[in-house]
Structure 1
C-alpha cells in the first residue's frame, strides 16, 4: 500500500511538471521596451521584444503571426554566438498589447517564458504627457566561474528623466512563475548591479527582474509613497563554469571602446560607428558577442594573439524602432568573459520645416532653399555644412546652399534598397557652452535601388581572396646555409623578441654562439641534425602584406600530443628558437637549436598558426605581438586574413635526409610534392569568419562627383528634417 502511495505521489508530480510552464526552458535573456500609444490614451502600448534563445534560431510564428498587429525583425545580419554553450541567437519583434499585459510566450520547441508588463497610463504632472516606462539594455548571456565573484551592471535609461531601479520579480505579484531568487546573487536596486558571490555550483541559472521608474526627488527631500510609475520585465541567464585558474584573467577593455552607458546621438540617415577593443593575456578571444538593434553591422572581427577588436556600425533609416536603442557586448574566451559594456543610440526627434522649404536633387548636387523666418534667433553666420569650406549664403528672406553629391562632406549610405546621399547644415559654436538656439538640419537625397547604376550601390568589403589573393601557406625545413635562402641563413641576423617573462630569459651570448655554428660544416651523414631552419612560407605577393606567426609548436607525435611551444603569442619561448631577420614580410624563418632538445626518435612534427595582415594606411604597420608598444589601434587599423593552421608531415632529424636534397627555389607546394619534410598547405580558417563576408559600411563614406548616378531628377526624392535645441536641453541622458 505504501509503495502504491509513493508511486501515486511521484506520478502526480510528474504530471504537474509536464503541464506546468517549462521553467528550465526559460529564455537566455529578455527585455521589453514599452512605448505608450497616444491615440487611445496609453491603454495600449507598442511592446518591442528582444529575446535570446538557444540555437538554432526559432521562427516567430507563435508570437508574431502574419496578419496580426505585429512586426517581426528579420535581418541579414543575425546575432548568433557560441559562448556559453550551446550556441545562442537573438530574436526581435514588436507587437501592440494592452498596457497591463501578462502572457506565456513560446519560441520554437526550446524556449517558453512568462512576460509581465505594468504600464497603465499615467499623465505626468510636469509636462501633461503620458509617462514612458524605462528602457533596459539586454546583455549577452552572462558567464561566471565557481568561487570568482563578479558584478554585472544592467544598463538603464529613462526618456522622462525618472530614476530607474531594479528588483527581483515577485511570484506572488504575478510577475513571474517559480522565480525564487538565488542565494548566491545580490542586487543593488538603485544602481541595477547584480553581484554573483561565487558560491554556486557549475550550471545554468535564470534570473527574473523588474525595472521600474520613479519620480526623482532632490537628496534633501523625500517623497512619501513614491510608488513606481511602471514596471517592465528583465530576464537574464547566468552560466557558472568550473574554474580552471584564478579569477584575474578576464579580457580587459582597451582604450577606443565607448564608455559604459554612453550615448551616441543619431540623425536621420546618419551612420554611427565605434570599436570594441580587448586584451586577453591567458586565452585568445573567441568572439565578441553583441546584442543590438536590427541591422547593426559587425565587421572586421580580429583576434590576434592577446588583442581582439570588432567594429560596429548602424545607419538610421526610416524605421519604427524605439527612440533609444541599446548595444551591449562582451568578449568571450574559452573560459572567461569580459566586463559587460553597453552603448545607447539615441534617435533624435525631428520636425518638418515650414512651408517654403525646398530641397532639390539632381544628378550631381542637392540645392537647399530655406525661409529664414523659421530660424528664430539662430545666428545664420554660424551655419555650415559637413565641410566648412562649402559656402552657405543668406539674405533677408532665404538661406541657400548648393551641395555637390561628391563634395562638401556629402556621404553615401544605404537605407534598405535605397542609396542615400546625406549632409548636415548645423550651427557651429566656438565656445564650450552657448545658450543660443542651435540648428541641426539633416539633408538627404534618396535614390531607389532600381535606378542606382554603377558599382557604388553594391558597396561591400573585398573578400579575403580579393584583398590578399589566393593564399597558400606551407612549412619547409632546411639545414642552415642550405635551401632556397642559403646566403641569408649562412650568415644570419637574429631578432630579439622573447616573451618578456623571467622564466624565458635569454642566456648571454646565445645569439653569437648560434650564428657561429650555423653553417654546420663537417657534418656526417649518419649524424643527427644539430640546428634546423623552419620556414613558414606564403605565396602572398601583395604590397605591404605582412605575415604574423602567432603560435608554433613541436612534438614527436603526429597528433601533436605532448607538444612544446616554439612561438607563443608571437614571442619566442626560449633562446633555443631564434627568428632570422629577412627583408621579406610574407614569410618567416626560425633557427631551431636541436642540441638542446631531448628527442627519443629521429622524427618530429611541427604546427604553426599564422595570419596575413595589411595596414590600412601606408604610415601604419601591423601589430608586433611581442612588443609592449602594440596597441588596439594597430589592430583596428589593419586588415587580417582568417587564421591558418599548418601542420607538417614527419620531419627527419638525420643529416643524410637533408644532404640528399637539392632545393634551390621556394615554390608553393602541390598535392604531389614529394618528401617528408615539406608540409602540405592546410589553409583551414580559424573559428573567426573573415569580416569580408559582411557588407562594409565604412566604404560608403568616400564619394566623388563622378560617382553620382545618371538618373532623372524627377525620380530623386529630397528629405529634410530639423531640430532646434538649446545646448543644455538634453540632460536626461547624461
Structure 2
C-alpha cells in the first residue's frame, strides 16, 4: 500500500512538475530467522533526486529492525522474532542541485541542495509486511534459498516499455537443495506471468505487460521473488518507464577497467543528437567529442557514478542525458537518456596448475579479468620479491614451502578480497572429482597452510608441497 504527497511547483532544472519516488514490494515477503540481515527496497527517483527513507512517527517499529535512511534498506540489529512484522515508512526525494520551484500563482521558492532541513519535494508512504520463518540449516544463496542468475535484471534497474507493445521481463533462479514452485510478481493489474522448470533446480519466469495510453510516461514498479516451501529468494524490483514510441537504440561501447569506465557513443547511430547539450550525471564532468563518437571517461567514485549491490555483482552506473538552458522556451533537438554501467562479479574462480617433473613441481602463472587479479609466486615468506617471468618454470621439491599471493587490482574504495575456497586437483582440470581442499567455506583445511599478513585486496599464503597418491604424473 502506498500514497503520495507532492509539491506542485515547476522545477527549474526540468521545467516540469517533480516526479515522486517509485517504490513497491511483493505482497508476501518471507525470510528464515537465521538468514535475515538486510532487505533493500526499491527507491528510484525519475528526476535523479536523492531518496531518503524513514519510519513513520506514528507506527511502531518491530524489535531488532532498523532502517538505513540513505539506501532505503531494512536491516537487523539483533535476532528478529519469528512471525509476521508490519512496517510503515515514508520515502522522500531531495534535489541534488540547487533549483527553483515556480507555482501557478507566480510565486517561487528557492531550494538549496545542501539544506538538509528542507522538506522533501514528494513524500510516498509504503506499507508492507515481512514474515520471519523458523531457521533453516543453510543460508547460502543457491542452496535452500534460491539465487537469481546474472541474466535476471538487477535490483533498481530502469527498463523501458512502449504503449501498445508487449513488454517482457525474464528471470532465472536456482536452488540446489529445494524446489522452486513459483515466482511471486507484483506489478500492474494486466501483467501476466508464465513460468517453467528446467533441470538442476533451475526455474524461469517470463512477465508480460502491454502498456495502455493512460500509462504513458509512468514509471511502473515491478518486483519479483522465486518461491520455495522453505523460503524465497531476495526480492528484486525494477522501474519500467513507459514511452510513446520505441526507444531508439544507438550504438555504444562501454569499457570497464579495474578503476574506471569509458563509454563511446556512435554519432551516426543517433541522428539528431546535439553533442553540445549532453552531460553526465554530475554536471561538473564534461564529455569529449571527435568526428564519429561522443566520449566519456570517469572513475568509479566521480562524476555521479552510483555503486549498487546487485546480488552476485557490484555494479557501477552513470548516464548521459540531454539538458535545456534556463532561457530556452522551445527546442528542436532529440532528448537523450543513455544509461551505462560496469558489473564486477563478487566471486571469481581462479586457478594455477603444476606438473610433477623429476620429483619436482613446475608452476605456471595466471592472470585474471574482472577487477584484475594477479596470482604470483614469491621467493620467500616476506612476499616482497616475486619470481621473475624468465625463471619459470619454478622447480620446488616435495616438502618444500610454496609462497604464493593473490591480489585484486582495483582503486575502488572499501573492497575486500575474500578467498572462499582453495583446492588442489591431480591435473589441470579444476572439475576433477579427485581433489584436496586447502580452504573450504573460508576455513583452512590443511595443517601446513598458513596465511600471512595481507592488506584488504591481497591474500598471501604458504603451503607445504605434496602430491596425490596413485598413478598421477601431475
Larger Cα-atom Rg: 1
Higher RCO structure, 1 or 2 (CA under 8 Å, sep 6+): 1
Q: Answer 1 or 2: which has greater strand percent.
A: 2
TM-score with structure 1 length normalisation?
A: 0.32
